Amino acid sequence: MSRVSQPWPPVPVEPAEAHPKAPPAGTELGVHFGECFGCGDEVESGLHLRSRVGEGQTVHSKFTVTAAHQGAPGLAHGGLLACAFDEALGSTVGNLLRRPAVTGKLETDFRRPVPVGSTLYIATRLDGIAGRKIYVSADGHLDAEDGPIAVSARALFVVVGFEHFSNHGDPQALEKLAAAHEKAKRAREQREWEINP
């Protein structure tokens, strides 16, 4: 079977420059929302994806497939693998560009089965920007950063205003989340001040 690849990005783009306040290479990216199925630590059966900023416009994420993620016996469900990529790609866009954006289109290429117990190492790169459109892609390597590619993905994220989340989501939960982020930011600033007043 041949896999026909369309040109990527599909439109002319500007290079995606990281935001001046983007976390530097080596930074472990925290959970952006405890109830997020992709990364949240309050979701027992979630993916618990963890990410670290890499060199250039890259982020390295990983998650371990558990019995809660099965489609066929002993194998990861393709939809959950797509979810892992949505999370890894979205986290890359949000953290490196620091612009609120949502997935407009996500395409996945499933190349090898992903067994329960295996760990997927997802390497994501920013491919370019055209106005509000951000193009990003990733490869998921099986069981090691340089393991065989099991899944690849390409996505278009579209920059939105914060009202996207307040109008369509749960404003009270958003306020709680914003307050928690503010508290964490103040604690970080306090720690930095104590180390380097």
Ligand X SMILES: CCCCCCCCCCCCCCCC(=O)SCCNC(=O)CCNC(=O)[C@H](O)C(C)(C)COP(=O)(O)OP(=O)(O)OC[C@H]1O[C@@H](n2cnc3c(N)ncnc32)[C@H](O)[C@@H]1OP(=O)(O)O
We find the least distance from the C-beta atom of residue 162 to ligand X, in angstroms, to be 8
Kindly list the residues in this chain that would bind ligand X in the complex (CB under 6 A).
32, 38, 86-87, 90-91, 94-95, 98-100, 102-105, 131-133, 156, 158, 160
We find the least distance from the C-beta atom of residue 117 to ligand X, in angstroms, to be 25
Neighbours of 55 (CB within 10 A): 9
Indicate the residue among 38 and 142 with the shorter CB distance to ligand X. 38
Q: How many Å apart are CA 41 and CA 160, to the nearest integer?
A: 26
Give me 132's structure tokens. Answer: 């509000």
The answer to whether the CB of 38 falls within 8 A of the CB of 47 is: yes
We find the least distance from the C-beta atom of residue 160 to ligand X, in angstroms, to be 5
Indicate the residue among 60 and 133 with the shorter CB distance to ligand X. 133
We find the least distance from the C-beta atom of residue 82 to ligand X, in angstroms, to be 10
Q: How many Å apart are CA 197 and CA 190, to the nearest integer?
A: 9
Q: How many CA atoms lie within 13 A of 175 on its CB side?
A: 3
Q: Where are the alpha helices (DSSP H) in the chain?
A: 78-97, 163-168, 171-195
Which position's Cβ is nearest ligand X? 90
Indicate the residue among 67 and 187 with the shorter CB distance to ligand X. 187
Indicate the residue among 11 and 67 with the shorter CB distance to ligand X. 11
